[in-house]
A and B are shown apart, each in its own frame.
Chain A
Amino acid sequence: MSEETTTAATSTPDTKAKNGPVMLIKDLSKAFGELKVLSGFSAELMQGENLVVLGKSGSGKSVLIKCIVGLLSYDSGSITVMGDEVSALNRKELNVMRQKVGFLFQSGALYDSMTVRENLMFPLTRIRKDLCADEMEAKIKEVLENVGLADAIDKMPSELSGGMRKRISLARTIVVDPDIMLYDEPTTGLDPVTSDEISSLILDVQKKYRTSSIIITHDIKCARKVADRILMINDGKVHLMGTPKEFEESDDELVASFFN
């Protein structure tokens, strides 16, 4: 078993048992040329909670979660994921950290040239090297059943609807048992019924896999349903953070424009 796999396999049960913050973001700044997207952004994600991030388009929500997994580098500040400062990690350490973080892309990002089984097998063979072939197959069937698409195992992504692609993408993310989930607009482009089903799945994943999640969304119905806490981002900073109830009762103009 490789060093990377050992670290991931041993860290999973320990880290899930801990309480307190699993992610700390301090004074995070990120600019693209002259355009400042994040400017002194600070937040924390607690163990087992669903933190919904709301904000206008272009307010830096997606940039934030891409900085968390190291897809984008940030200019200043710090992001600590389960004790690891992201900017200080080398490539190998970054890969170990990424094994603890699941990322659901807005487009689903399923590999077009692979079947659903191969899509799920791809991260599994690379991250969960401790499992044998039969265990991997069983794991794939289990997560597909959890997202309600066990029959789609041999289908190609092109044969799936938008909602099904999102579900398969979610299955691919949870198949490696991540500790933290990052959802990038999980209900965008879906009809209200499917959006509600995806929101329910997010709650199921939180309960079943005991994940801590950051959910980027514009969908207030989804936010109301899944959020333990809501964070509103504006001008690259935290505009307001609180419980869904506090947001509902807020007099803030920006918050009201989202909730009313």
Chain B
Amino acid sequence: MSTTTIKAKFEDRITGLGEAVLSIGPGFKGFVTDFADAFLFLVLIGRETFSRHFEFREFLNQCFQIGYRSLPLVSITGAIMGLVLTIQSRPVLVDFGAETMLPGMVAVSLIREMGPVITALICAGKIGSGMGAELGSMRVTEQIDAMEVSSTNPVRFLVVTRVLAAILMIPLLTVYADALGIVGSWAGANIKGEVGFTLFMAQAFKPVDFMDLMPAILKTFFFGAVIGIVGCYKGYHAGRGTESVGKAANSAVVLASLLVIIIDMIAVQITDMLSS
């Protein structure tokens, strides 16, 4: 077979592949464009994070908005989580005569899995949608453009501060939710019995070791990053109409929640590999 024939066949294959890709339609093109946009956005965040002109005051403001303003929601969720887990588990443990293991079981469940994931999902709903809607409305009402013509980098001012605040605050909120969850569990244990607070706490933390604590805390930094980045990305890239604000908020919650679950699955696999 001559070189020209091989070349022609190769060109045919490439053309065929290109046509096949194009025939998948605008949906695929949109996916590729979105993926490229998201990648560029990440690069931009990375570059601006290490800029000399860090917006420290806005960062503190966002820590307050994300952290302090989420406390009531996280408090209620955390306490109920521990309470419900205790009430649901208690009858089974009583049947097996293992009631004394209740505090430790609840603490390990909360610290390893339920605390981080439920707190992250709650925050994806509250913080992710808030960021999507706020930045989306700022885009629609030209506030982001106004910031840009005021010689201010909007990514540095709006995005970097929010993403870093989320990375810092989500782990703190998780620890807080875990603590309230264990207190809620003690309250749950006292509904049908009588357990002293000190004894309950001693039993709760007895089975908790380093490999329960560290991976659980580490993954919450990734949860925070995902919630911040997705919320800001969706809001920053909102369309021009008011309808796009709702869409940005909605898609921020959906995507951030999905990514939290996926990251959790990866984190669990890695932890399992490391501990075995």
Contact = CB atoms under 8 A, between A and B. Distances in A.
Tell me if chain B binds chain A.
yes
Interface of A: 4, 66, 69, 71, 95-96, 98-99, 101, 103, 105-107, 109-113, 122-123, 126-127
A71 B143 CA distance: 13
A65 to B, nearest CB: 10
A101 B150 CA distance: 9
Interface residues on B, range: 10 to 19
Nearest to B152: A126
29 contacts: A4-B151, A66-B145, A69-B149, A71-B148, A95-B151, A96-B151, A98-B149, A98-B151, A99-B151, A101-B149, A103-B149, A105-B146, A106-B142, A109-B143, A109-B145, A111-B138, A111-B143, A111-B147, A112-B137, A112-B138, A112-B141, A112-B143, A113-B134, A122-B150, A123-B150, A123-B152, A126-B150, A126-B151, A127-B151
Nearest to B149: A103
Contacts of A101: 149
B150 A127 contact: yes
A141 to B, nearest CB: 20
B142 A105 contact: yes
Contacts of A110: 143
A65 B150 CA distance: 15
A107 B150 contact: no
Chain A to chain B: the 4 pairs with minimum beta-carbon distance, closest first: A109-B146, A95-B151, A123-B150, A109-B142
Given A112-B143, A122-B150, A126-B152, 7 more contacts: A69-B149, A105-B142, A105-B146, A107-B142, A111-B146, A112-B137, A122-B152
A147 to B, nearest CB: 17
A95 B138 CA distance: 20
Given A109-B141, A112-B137, A103 B151 contact: no
Nearest to A2: B53
Contacts of A127: 150-151
Nearest to B150: A123
Contacts, number: 48
Contacts of A112: 137-138, 141, 143
Interface in B120-156: 134, 137-138, 141-143, 145-152
Contacts of A99: 151
Q: Which residue among A101, A106, A109, A111 has the maximum number of chain B CB atoms within 10 Å of its CB?
A: A109
Nearest to B65: A113
Contact of A107 (B134, B141, B147): B141
B149 A71 contact: yes
A31 B33 CA distance: 20
Interface string B239-271: 000000000000000000000000000000000
A123 B150 CA distance: 5
A11 to B, nearest CB: 14
A112 B150 CA distance: 16
Contacts of B150: 98, 122-123, 126-127
Contacts of A111: 138, 143, 146-147
Interface string B101-132: 00000000000000000000000000000000
Contacts of B142: 105-107, 109
Contacts of B148: 71, 98
A205 B145 CA distance: 22
Nearest to B61: A113
Q: Which residue among B137, B141, B146 has the maximum number of chain A CB atoms within 10 Å of its CB?
A: B146
A126 B145 CA distance: 15
Contacts of B134: 113
A103 B145 CA distance: 10
Contacts of B138: 111-112
A167 to B, nearest CB: 15
Contacts of A66: 145
A112 B134 CA distance: 10
Contacts of B152: 122-123, 126
Contacts of A126: 150-152
Contacts of A96: 151
Nearest to A123: B150
A118 to B, nearest CB: 11
A96 B151 CA distance: 7
Nearest to B148: A71
A203 B146 CA distance: 23
Contact of B145 (A4, A105, A122): A105
Contacts of A122: 147, 150, 152
Contacts of A123: 150-152
B144 to A, nearest CB: 9
A111 B138 CA distance: 8
Contacts of A109: 141-143, 145-146
Interface in B211-253: none
A22 B275 CA distance: 69
Q: Which residue among B138, B143, B147 has the maximum number of chain A CB atoms within 10 Å of its CB?
A: B143
B146 A103 contact: yes
